[in-house]
């Protein structure tokens, strides 16, 4: 009798897991930047907060939010288009530091400094983007 009850329980849980996955939306809207090693997605911020983490704001990567695939960076659609490069520089720098073992708070502070430098000077932003994009090309996960 116990094996039948266990089998039924497993069937019920499998169905519940399937339904839970169906209810989650795919928040990816469009590709902003892509290479063989990394894809930067524009994502629906509200869907991301509703389905994954209420604290997701602006952008993120796997090392901060484990539910983001390791070869992706997500930038929220509420970030104005003229701000997205700065957010991306921040996420690229932070991601690279964290994958080498730096804790989030320290990596975030350093990434914020790089982001600020780029906001002061557009040429600096472009330079930082090139450097950070290249550093992230060997990281698939």
Give phi and psi for 105, each to the nearest 5: -60, -45
Given a contact cutoff of 8 angstroms between Cβ atoms, the answer to whether 117 and 128 are in contact is: yes
What is the structure's pLDDT at 103? Answer: 97
What is the structure's pLDDT at 133? Answer: 97
Tell me which residue has tokens 């080498």. Answer: 100
pLDDT tens-digit readout, 94-138: 999 999 999 999 999 999 999 999 999 999 999 999 999 999 998
Query: Which one is predicted more confidently, 129 or 6?
Result: 129
What is the structure's pLDDT at 138? Answer: 80
| pLDDT (mean) for 62-89 | 96
What is the structure's pLDDT at 23? Answer: 47
Contacts for 96 with CB less than 8 Å, ≥ 6 apart: 132, 135, 136, 139
- Provide the residue ranges of all domains of the chain, joining segments of one domain with +: 26-138
Q: Is the pLDDT of residue 17 over 80?
A: no
Per-position DSSP letters for 102-133, written without gaps between them: --HHHHHHHHHHHHHHHHH-HHHHHHHHHHHH
């Amino acid at each position: 009798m116990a094996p039948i009850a266990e089998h039924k329980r497993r069937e019920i849980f499998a169905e519940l897991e399937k339904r839970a996955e169906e209810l989650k939306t795919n928040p990816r809207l469009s590709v902003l930047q892509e290479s063989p090693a990394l894809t930067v997605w524009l994502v629906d911020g509200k869907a991301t907060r509703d389905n994954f983490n209420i604290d997701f704001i602006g952008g993120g990567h796997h090392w901060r939010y484990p539910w983001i695939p390791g070869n992706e960076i997500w930038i929220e659609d509420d970030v104005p288009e003229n701000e997205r490069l700065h957010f991306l520089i921040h996420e690229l720098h932070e991601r690279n530091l964290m994958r080498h073992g730096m804790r989030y708070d320290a990596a975030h502070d350093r990434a914020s400094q790089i982001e600020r430098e780029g906001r002061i000077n557009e040429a600096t932003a472009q330079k930082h983007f090139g450097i950070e994009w290249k550093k992230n090309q060997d990281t698939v996960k």
